[in-house]
Amino acid sequence: MKFDIAIIGAGPGGYNAAEKAAKMGMQVVLFEKEDLGGTCLNRGCMPTKALIHSAEVYESALHADSVGVIAKEVGFDFAAMHARKNYVVEELRKGVEKLMKAGKITVVYGRAQIAASGVVTCDGETYEVSDIIIASGSKVAYPPVPGIRGEGVYNSRDILEGEGMMFKSLIIIGGGVVGVECGSIYRALGCEVTILEAADHILPVMDKEVAQRLTMMMKKRGCTVEAKAMVQKIEGTPGNMSVTYLDKKGKEVVATAEAVLAAAGRCANIDGLFGEGVEIEMFKNAIVGDELGRTSIPHVYVIGDAKAKNIQLAHVAEAQGANAVAVIAGKEPPIDMTVVPSCVYTNPEIAAVGLNEDQAKEAGYTTKAVKYLTGANGKCLIENTDSGYVKLVTDAATGRLLGAQLVCPRATDMIGELSLAIQKGLTAESLHAVIHPHPTFTEMISGAAALLGG
């Protein structure tokens, strides 16, 4: 069988690349070893957010008296929460299936292997193609900790698929996005949560100030959060687990819980991807690609989590897929990859884009930065939200927006406006010149811009 392009992996990067290639008139074959939508749709982003929403509705009902609403006998049905999550996932997966069918894309379920440049095999069939895009995504990474692969230790897939797993107490190893989001879900449902993070603070890829604010809020809700915690070993049986770690002072501490969640990051999922004799440049077990995804093998591209030194975000993979398809078609890449927003769906939400204040100074800028607090925003007061802020970082010389960090309601929706502003080189004055409707959370952007002299 012959095709113009083969795409290995049907996550957000892969299926969106397939759709775009089909629209350009290419004959596309898309390989997926499990479900359309990949980890993000089936076992990651989407199920997590569905459960977060359910947990937040429950938590809001518990505290409804603060806004004059009396809710009696408030409870939650864990099985029903997961049933709704499964419905959301299934509906989204059906949407991807319809998209592939509409584009007349050949979808092959199975483990694909690159046998040579221009040749892909799957379950005994051989596919001749002009170009290949590797979009095989990532898998759970396990640090070298004794006992981390034993019984009683689960990963995000274990707790997000099917009917889920409920615990009275949970130790989470890793304070990145997966760790804090899962911790937020379980804590909202009454589970005792302990988060152990080896770095100086949770959310190590985020601004330290943002991480400190989230740490304070999670502790206020009853979570135990330990940074600079070096896990030494995990022992026990399901229902009675212990984790031994060294705290920030080097003191040995033993934490106990019903279960342990391994959430210390993800790594490229490329097991068995290359046939005998196929050699490709690698870096730390991930595939090296240039800014357009081109690898060391001609006509073979890599996007998303399988790519070395890449930002592991679904929207990054999707954008890289669009650019790779454009390059294959002989067109200019349509997406600017220099401005990438990041989001964390805790309560309150967290979002960031561009440079934080320290990064801007390290880059040689003289900065001017301000925070607009949620307490000064009418919509935040109306909705009784936790304390937070919108922080804007600008170049003092020009007023141009360099970065933004948000800890507030709807931060993940608001970050799009700020991403566009940075990408277009807009100033604080330009942001303030736009009328933001009242009362809304977005007024915090205009308010921060005004404080900068916009």
Active-site positions read 438
Report whether 103 contacts 22 (CB < 8 A). yes
Opening angle at CA 76, ends 382 and 409, nearest 5: 30
Q: Which residues of 24-40 are buried (b: 16+ CB within 10 A; e: fewer)?
A: bebbbbbbbbebbbbbb
Considering only CA atoms, which of 248, 202, 242 is closest in space to residue 229? 248
Helical axes 78-102 vs 45-62, angle rounded to 10° = 140
Q: Are strands 125-134 and 2-8 parallel, antiparallel or unpaired?
A: parallel
DSSP 8-class letter at 366: P
CA 38 to chain centre: 13
Considering only CA atoms, which of 396, 393, 388, 389 is closest in space to residue 369? 393
Report whether 168 contacts 258 (CB < 8 A). yes
Report whether 178 contacts 346 (CB < 8 A). no
Report whether 307 contacts 287 (CB < 8 A). yes
DSSP 8-class letter at 374: G
Considering only CA atoms, which of 284, 250, 237, 240 is closest in space to residue 265? 284
